[in-house]
Amino acid sequence: MRTAPGQVVAGRYRVTDRPDDDVGVPAVDGHSGARVRLFALELPEPVTPGFDSDGAAPGYGQRLTARVAQVAAAAPAHPRLLRGLAAGPEGDLLWVAEESVSGVPLEGLMAGGPLSPYRVAEIGADLAGALRAVHDTGLTHGNVTARTVLVCEDGAAMLGGLLLGAAEEELCAALGGEVPRRVYETRALMLGPLAERWAIDPGAPADTWSLGVLLYRLLSGYGPYPEHDLPTLLAAVRDGRHHPADRCGPLRPLVERLLSPDAAARPDATAVQRELHELLVFAPEPYPDGRPERPLPEPRTEAAPPAVRPRGARPRKRPPTARQGAAPAGRQPRIPARMFGPLVLVAVLVLMVVAVAGIVLVAG
């Protein structure tokens, strides 16, 4: 993206930092002062029969801007849906603005390997709630991927990319015109073989299918369909041939229903959210309320094994005791404590007798 800090794009967004391919371009909206993230969509030069390439052929910027504004006006407010703001063309780019929140892309979390089933269930429930709100307004999201999901500091997942997805689809339609083959070729160049973007159904069932693909990817570390080339991917999607869901654990039944080629057999977003919440009720928690579920076992007091001194090693000196005459710990003294007094008295009397006897002998 051709931006630098301090630059103003689309006439209203001031870039505040260097662009990040994962989270867009950080900027500030000059109209509201809100922090936003910007995403750029390249606008190819229109090729229209009868127009010179240097002529005044109409561009696509205004058409895409109008479509994005229409989607932004109809989009619902939901705590798990990133709010799309606006779009504005500038040169050969269309800039799409979205609300900015602190978080990391879900795609980055996947770099560490598959996630646990219950963590995936939490993320899936958040995304299903956002999709339910979108579908209730009659919209289709169309851009449910690991790159459009942000995971916040509190662990909540937020779904973005609504306006950017709408702009991409509108651009494909504009470039393809009335020829389905050209629309397909345009989408192939723009989107590539990413399974989540190639649902075979329109509308809400396409979004729930894409959610199933994403859940599978999070649980296994790879997509449910071959993605090395687009024709192979599309044939597998059309025929319902996905990789086994053995690694999906307790989410396997739900994922397999979401990936069904029959749209009527898939649960809607409301049913998906409910099923995931029910699963999370029974999620194992090793330390509820910060304490173990069961008391820890008492430490065993076994006698220590005898120390073995290596050959040639010098024995350690024991630290001196408080009283050198004290009996070793754990052994009974040879003289009971109650006999100390009488014995001392007898000893004194014996000494006195011996002293008197000595005096008599000397005087005698």
Degrees to nearest 5, angle at CA 136 with 135 and 139 = 40
The predicted-structure confidence for 2-52, as pLDDT tens digits, reads as follows: 688 999 998 899 999 877 666 789 999 998 999 999 999 998 865 444 434
Q: For all residues of the chain together, what is the average pLDDT?
A: 83
Residue 335 lies in a domain: no
CATH number of the domain bearing residue 26: 1.10.510.10
pTM of the model: 0.75
By residue range, what is the domain housing residue 75? 8-284
- Of 305, 157, 147, nearest to 217 by C-alpha is 147
How far is Cα 49 from Cα 324, in angstroms, rounded to an integer? 111
Residue 334 lies in a domain: no
* Number of domain units in the chain: 1
Residue 71 lies in a domain: yes
Residue 249 lies in a domain: yes
- Name the strands in the sheet holding 157-159, side by side, starting at the edge strand that comes first in the sequence: 103-105, 149-152, 157-159
The predicted-structure confidence for 257-295, as pLDDT tens digits, reads as follows: 999 999 999 999 999 999 999 999 988 765 444 433 333
Q: Please, which pLDDT band fits residue 315 given cuts at 50, 70 and 90?
A: very low
